[in-house]
Amino acid sequence: MKKTLANIYILIIMLFLYLPIIALIVLSFNESKSMAVFTRFSLKWYEELFQSELMMRALINTFSIAIISALIATVVGTLAVLGMNSMRTKSQNALMAFNNIPLLNADIVTGIALMLFMLILKIPRGYGTILFSHATFCIPYVILSVKPRVNKRTDKLYEAALDLGATGKYAFRKVVLPELWPGIMSGFMLSFTMSVDDFIITYFTRGAGINTIATLIYSQVKVGIRPSLFALSTIIFIVALVVLVIINIRQSKADKDNKMAFNL
């Protein structure tokens, strides 16, 4: 009985999460603009999506900013963690406390603060200011992801490599970096996701004529959302789903290979 109730509960949660997405996907293939009546199957809105310069520019802005800002945040955050590792424990704890403040802070406070900072310095807002802002608020996430990977084991492996004759650069590249790599990749993916998903900070730091997917959707809500945005959302969802499936398959295969090697 308990197992049946648990399965029903999980099913309700899954339906609550995915029914809206399924409805969105169905409506993206509806020839009519109506969200209440499905007339017939059509790729009309996908054609409009790829022919719309405004949407394509917003799409390019969104993912180029996400990739570049995630790369910047990953490099800066990783270097910050390596620098913190050479400090005393009290200093590390103090820096981590300061690092956690932006994570707990409301996005609107960060967005307004960055906007005021740019206005005070008279920096014209545009693509560059969005990129700077996204890299800034992503750095704490990278630090939080990489910091647990740096421990005494990492230091001992690095020292052992030096004792065996390796140079500092070689030991870092072949010993330390592989130890940090899972945390670095987690920080990069988290930063990328946060950047793509962000609206508030982008809204306060963007200039006139610069749009990401989030700000474009917000501006179109006022006049009525076109189904071409349903098509865009469907494409993003399918791409994310495919990437997730590939990663899970590769991870399962790697775990299976490791298990076989351990048994041997």
Give me the domains of the chain, ranges plus CATH numbers: 1-42+228-264 (no CATH), 55-226 (1.10.3720.10)
Mean pLDDT over the full length of the chain: 84
DSSP secondary structure string for all residues of 225-251: --THHHHHHHHHHHHHHHHHHHHHHHH
How does pLDDT run across 203-236, given as a tens digit for each residue? 898 877 788 888 888 887 777 777 888 888 888 8
Q: Which residues of the chain have pLDDT under 70?
A: 152-153, 155, 254-255, 257-264
Beta-bridged to residue 121, according to DSSP, are none
Q: With b meaning 16 or more CB within 10 Å and e meaning fewer, what string describes 53-64?
A: eebeebbebbbe
Q: What is the pLDDT of residue 130?
A: 92
Q: What is the pLDDT of residue 65?
A: 93
| Cβ neighbours for 219, distance < 8 A, ≥ 6 positions apart | 211
Largest CA distance in the chain: 73
Q: What is the pLDDT of residue 168?
A: 73
